[in-house]
């Protein structure tokens, strides 16, 4: 093998000029992309990170922003600050197409050449072919989503305070969370805590404790990826907190003010969608083989077959474990894949053979309301307060930035001791809040109009 070429286990070769520094482009600064960029910090390469946002977002705690437990700045950190001082430049841009043959990433501001490409754009909310449900049931993938959900939840209590019709008031105080996975379970438990512990004495005409929180799940049980005994304990805890768990209830329609399921309709003005995710639409731009979920089928080294210079990590990659089971879209998976892709790039630059990816299972966790969680880690199955402590420590450890860790620890300690949540702010004008979801102006549009 010549110094200018490095063979790939996926077939083909990556031809490089040994006298030129390799150009690596990373699309997406989530867990996978950020991990790859940091692992390439000392490589003989220039790294360009492209993202539509200027911040890295800790998505596992988005539900706490949506339920006023944390402020947005507690779970987000500027990408430039994370990668500052390295051989890396950050571009705030959006990828519109990718030319694999010409090795170019095309953005809204032009084309960027690469020698290696790492695709880590993450996932989008899936409504299973019913995108028309989105305005009435926002998902939870961005800070904007979280703030919109927070606004709807808090505004429902405000409207109920002034509502004189009992039926309308009951609908306003009914909150529906669709999807019984970890996000849905955590959302339902957090909304219950708000109504029964946090704002219980803030209103005079209503009793927030009368709020109805319904967790709707299409399958026979919640937390299907967890051990069944843990799922049962989580459901019991939810029900103890006042959450109504509706199983075997696939959603048939989400309309203005009502959710229709196979087990009946539920009137509600605050609906949260936590039922599914789909691969980023970027996969369809590649022209390569995808699985049924729209993810890219990658080789053992995480590269695209036929294009050994292109790696796909995180939610966009179809990767299975040793048992043939598809790896879930979790932060530990994306982090390990991002680091592994970076290592294989370095090995290629050094003229070494690539290594196949092996996932080290870090376990699964979900918190249920106040000081209760379930966790399965390395064969151990934990529940209750001990699991909640483990869940808290793990999430703090994964947070980017020392200030974020300190602030989250402070906010959690304060909320635990006082039942207070300091981020209970409703943004936007009253007119926009009362408007139909389809006609409501997005925050950026309203801001732009105000500046003009």
* Cα 427 from chain centre: 22
- The three-state secondary structure class of 219 is coil
Backbone angles phi, psi at 289, to 5 degrees: -70, 135
119, β-bridge pairs: 27, 312
Question: Encoding tokens for residue 28?
Answer: 């997406």
Instruction: Please list, residue by residue across 353-366, b when 16 or more beta carbons sit within 10 angstroms of its beta carbon and e when fewer do.
Output: ebeebebebbbbbb
- The three-state secondary structure class of 119 is strand
Catalytic residue among 186, 237, 309, 337: 186
Question: Encoding tokens for residue 306?
Answer: 């036929």
* Cα 76 from chain centre: 12
Cα angle: 391, vertex 404, 184; to 5 degrees: 45
Backbone angles phi, psi at 312, to 5 degrees: -125, 130
Count the alpha carbons within 13 Å of 225 in the hemisphere toward its beta carbon. 19
Catalytic residue status for 186: yes
Question: Encoding tokens for residue 195?
Answer: 């109504």
Helices 182-193 and 228-240, packing angle to 10 deg:
20
* Cα 94 from chain centre: 19
- The three-state secondary structure class of 296 is strand
Catalytic residues, which ones?
A: 186
């Amino acid at each position: 093998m010549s110094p200018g070429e490095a063979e790939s286990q996926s077939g083909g070769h990556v031809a490089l000029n040994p006298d030129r520094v390799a150009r690596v482009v990373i699309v997406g600064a989530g867990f996978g992309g950020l991990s790859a960029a940091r692992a390439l910090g000392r490589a003989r390469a220039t790294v360009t990170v492209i993202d539509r946002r200027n911040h890295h977002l800790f998505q596992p705690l988005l539900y706490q922003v949506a339920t006023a437990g944390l402020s947005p700045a507690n779970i987000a950190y500027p990408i430039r600050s994370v990668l500052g001082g390295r051989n890396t430049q950050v571009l705030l841009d959006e990828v519109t197409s990718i030319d694999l043959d010409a090795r170019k990433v095309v953005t809204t501001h032009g084309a960027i050449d690469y020698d290696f490409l790492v695709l880590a754009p993450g996932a989008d909310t899936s409504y299973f072919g019913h995108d028309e449900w989105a305005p009435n049931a926002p998902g939870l993938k961005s800070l904007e989503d979280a703030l919109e959900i927070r606004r709807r939840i808090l505004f429902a209590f405000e409207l109920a305070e002034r509502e004189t019709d009992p039926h309308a008031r009951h609908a306003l105080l009914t909150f529906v969370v669709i999807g019984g996975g970890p996000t849905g379970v955590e959302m339902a438990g957090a909304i219950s805590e708000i109504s029964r512990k946090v704002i219980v004495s803030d209103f005079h005409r209503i009793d927030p404790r009368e709020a109805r929180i319904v967790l709707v799940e299409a399958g026979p049980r919640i937390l299907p990826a967890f051990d069944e005994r843990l799922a049962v304990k989580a459901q019991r805890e939810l029900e103890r907190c006042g959450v109504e768990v509706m199983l075997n209830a696939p959603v048939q329609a989400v309309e203005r003010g009502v959710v229709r399921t196979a087990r009946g309709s539920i009137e509600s003005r605050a609906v949260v969608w936590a039922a599914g995710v789909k691969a980023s639409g970027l996969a369809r731009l590649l022209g390569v083989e995808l699985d049924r979920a729209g993810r890219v089928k990658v080789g053992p080294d995480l590269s695209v077959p036929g294009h050994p210079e292109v790696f796909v990590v995180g939610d966009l990659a179809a990767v299975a474990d040793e048992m043939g089971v598809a790896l879930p879209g979790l932060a530990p998976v994306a982090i390990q894949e991002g680091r592994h892709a970076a290592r294989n790039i370095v090995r290629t630059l050094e003229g070494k053979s690539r290594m196949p990816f092996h996932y080290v299972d870090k376990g699964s966790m979900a918190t249920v309301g106040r000081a209760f969680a379930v966790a399965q880690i390395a064969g151990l199955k934990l529940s209750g307060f001990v699991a909640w402590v483990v869940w808290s420590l793990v999430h703090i450890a994964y947070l980017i930035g020392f200030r974020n860790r300190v602030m989250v620890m402070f906010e959690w300690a304060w909320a635990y001791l006082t039942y207070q949540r300091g981020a209970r702010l409703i943004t936007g004008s009253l007119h926009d809040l009362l408007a139909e979801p389809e006609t409501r102006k997005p925050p950026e549009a309203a801001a732009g109009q105000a500046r003009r």
